[in-house]
Structure 1
Amino acid sequence: MSSLGTNYKNQSIFSRFKFLILPLALLGMVGNTMTFLNKWCTGNTRWLIIGLLATNFILKAKLFRYFDAKFALILFLYLMWCLLSAFWSDVPFLSFMKSGILIILSVTLIRSGIEWIRIKSLYNALDYLWMLAFATLIAGFVGKYGYSQEMVNDFNGTSIAEFQGLVRGANMFGALTAMSFPFFLWRTYLAFVDKKIYLFWFFLTVSCFLFLMLSFSRSAILFFLGTFLFFLMSIDINKKFQLFLVVIIIALGTVIIFPTYINALADVVVTHIYKGQTNYTRSLFSTRITTWQQSLEGAEEGGWMGLGYGVSFGQTNFKLTEDLKSYLYGREKGNSQLGIMEETGKIGLIFYLFLLCGMEAKLFKLFINAQNSDQRTLIGILMGTFNGMIMHSLFEAWWSSPGSPESIYFWTLIGIILGTEIRIKNNKVELNAIEIKTLRRNNLARGS
C-alpha cells in the first residue's frame, strides 16, 4: 500500500487527472451547440482543444503510436486524396484549409480515443461520453421544465412543434441525445445486478430516449435504432427475454392507463414524421428531395476527381473572413455520400468505402472473438453506434464538415474502437502467457 501511495504522490497533476481530459475536450468541442455553454465553448474553442491535444502527442512523439498498418494506410490514402483535391479545386484555398483541418483533427481524435482505452478498463470504455451525456440531459430537463424551448416550424401549412431543449435546433438536440445514448445504455447494462443503481441508470436512459423522441429528428432516431438493434443482438437470451417483457408491460400499462390518448399520440407522431403532409401528398423525404436533387447534380459534376474538398457546385465566393462557417458559403447537401462524390469524386467515395469496410471488418472480428458476454455487449454497442452514425450521415452531410459535432464524435469513436481492439489483443496475450506458465509448472511438478 505504501508503494502505491508513493507512486501516486510522484505522479504529475496531468497524470492524476488525465482521465478527465477526453470528456472535457469532447464537451468543449461540442458545447457551442448548447445555449448554456456557448459563452465558454465558442466556435474557436474546438480548434484550441485540437491544437493542445495534437501538440501533447507530438511532443511525446506518440501521435501515430498504436495505429495498425492496414488502417493507417487506408486512412492515409483518404486524407491525402482530400488534400490533393486542392490542386484541381474550384476554390483551392478552401480545399487546402479544410483538408488540412481534417487531417489534424481526425488523427488527433483517433489517437485520443486510443489513449482513453489505454488508461481505462473496458468496463469504463464509454465513460469518455459522460460529460457530454449529462450536459445533454441538463439541456433537455431545463429546457422542458425550466422554460419552454420548442421550435415551431411551418411545413406544408401545418405548424409543428419540435423540442430542442437548450440546444440550437431540434435536429442538433436529437443528434446529441443519440450520441449520449450509448453511454447510458452501457451503464444501465453494467448496473443490472444492483437494482437501486440499475433504476437510477434506467431512468437516465429512458429520459435520454424520450428527449430524442420529443425532438422528432428522424435522422437521430435512425442513429438510435442502429445503436439499440446491435445492442439487442449482442446481449444473451435471458436479458433479451427480460427486456422484451419490460417493453410489453410498459406498452400494456400505457394502453390501459391512457386509452384515450393513444390515437391522439399516433396522429402527432404521423404528423411529425411526414412533416404535416396530407394523405394525398405524403412522402417521408419531402423535406429532403430538393436538397438531394441539388446534391445529386453536384455529385454528377464531381465525376471521378471531385470539385475539391469542401466545395459546393457553382459556388466559388469563399473568403477567409467568413471563418469557415458552412452557412456563409456553400449549401446544405443533406447526404454525406453525395457530398463526398461532389467534393472528392468517385475516387474519394472508394477510399471512404474502404475506410468504412475496414472498420466494419474489425468490429465483426471483435464481436465473433469476444471473450465473454460483457465484452460482446460492449462491442455490440460500439458496432451499433458506428453503424448508427453511418445511417445518420445519409440525411446529414457532416462528413465533409470536419469541425461539426458529428464529425468530432465519429473520429473519436474510431479511436475508441481501435483502442478496444488493442486492449482485447493484449488481454489475450496476457491470458496465453498465464496459461503457458501454468502448463510449465504442471509439467515440472509431474517431472519431479
Structure 2
Amino acid sequence: MAQKTYWLEHAWLGDHVEPGVALGVSADGRIAELRTGADTPPPGAEVLRGLTVPGLANAHSHAFHRALRSTVQVGSGTFWTWREVMYGVAQNLTPENYFALARAVYAEMALAGITDVGEFHYVHHAPGGTPYADPNAMGEALIEAAAAAGIRITLLDTAYLASGFGEAPNPHQLRFSDGTADAWAERVSALKPREHALIGAAVHSVRAVPAGQLATVAAWAQERQAPLHVHLSEQTAENDACLAAHGRTPTQLLADHGVLGPRTTGVHNTHLTDEDIALLGAAATGTCMCPTTERDLADGIGPAGRLQRAGSPLSLGSDSHAVIDLLEEARAMELNERLRSRTRGHWTANALLTAATADGHAALGRPDAGRLEAGALADFTTIALDTVRTAGPVPRLGAETAVFAASAADVRHTVVGGRHVVRDGVHALVGDVAGALSEAIAAVRG
C-alpha cells in the first residue's frame, strides 16, 4: 500500500521517457506502484517538475580525494606525482575530520543526484599504522557520514598490504595496512551492515596485495556474497611490474587466485590485452569506468566497448572527484570512445544512463535499485528541464537530454527511500554544502 505519492512530470523508464507518471512509495521506502498516463497530479501528490530518473550510483569513490580538487591540477606530472600529494592529505585524516569531510562530499553527491556510493576505503589506522581503539573507526566515520548526508553507501573495505611486488608498505602506507590478509579479514568482519550501509571488500591492486594473499580477500567476499572491487591495470607501470614479478598480467594473476567473478568489479581496466578482456568477460566481472579521473590523471582511455561486448557490465564512478557529476561520467565514456575511434554512437543514451543507474547499483550489491518500477528502492532524482543547458523541445524529450545536455548543476530533487534529501536544489540535512566542504577541506589540508 502506497503511503506517499509523487507525480513525475516526465520519467525515464529504462528505455523511454514517459510523461505524467504517478509513483507510490510504501512505508518501507520502496516503490509500491507506478502508473503511467497520469496527465494531472493525483490529490495530495508531491509534484516533481522535470525529468525524473532512478538515483545515480557512484560506484567508485575515495572521499578524501575531494580535498585535492583544484590543487593537483597545478603544473604537470603523472599519476605517481599526484599520488605523493594525495599521501600528504591522507596523513592528516582522523575519524573526526574524515566524518566531516565525507559528510560534505556525500552531500555534494546528493546534490548531483547520487543516491548510493561505493566507498573504496583504505585509510584504516592512525599515522604509523597504530590501530585506533575501535579498529574500524575510520570506516564507521564514513558509514555515519553517508547517513548524515542522506545517501546509501557500500563500504568497500580495502586490503592494502604492500607498496609494490615484494616491497613492504612505505611510511605513508603504514596506516593503510593490516599487515596480512588474515588480519584484514578479522578487522573487516567486525563491520556490520545497516539499513543504509552494505559492507563489501576490495583488493587495492595486485601491487598492494601479495599474490599469495589474494585468495583470502576473495574468499571473505565469496562467503558473504559481498561485492569485491579492485583497481585493475590503471597504469602501464603496474602491468610491467606484474609481468616482471609473476610473468602474468594483473588480470591473469587475479584469475589465477579466484578474484574474478560476477560480484567482482575491476576499476579502470584501462591497459588490457585481448586475453585480459576475454577473461573478464567470460567471468562476468564488471568494469567501473571513471572517465573524469582517468583524463585528469592522464591515465588513458579504457576499452569499455570491447569489455561490454565480451560480457563485462559497465558502471561509473567519480573516483578522485575532480568533478562529481555522474552525467558527465556517462557522456565522457561515449565521447572518449568517439575521440579514439573517430566515429559516433557507441552507446545509446539509454545504455549510458543504465550504466549510471541500474548497473552501478548492482555493482554495489543493490540489484533492487536503479529502476523506476514496483518493488525497487524508492531512490530517484529529478533533472530540471528549464535551465540554459536543458531547455528545448519537451515533446521529443528522451534520455539524451539527461546524458548529453544536463549536468549535476541541473539536479532539482533527490529522493532516497521515498524521502527528500535534496529539494529544489537545497540539501535538506546539510544545508550549506559549499560551506561544509570549505570548512572540512581546510581542516584536512592543514
Same fold (TM over 0.5): no
Q: TM-score, normalised by structure 2?
A: 0.24
Q: Which has the higher helix share?
A: 1
Q: Which has the higher strand share?
A: 2
Q: TM-score, normalised by structure 1?
A: 0.23
Q: Which has the larger radius of gyration?
A: 1
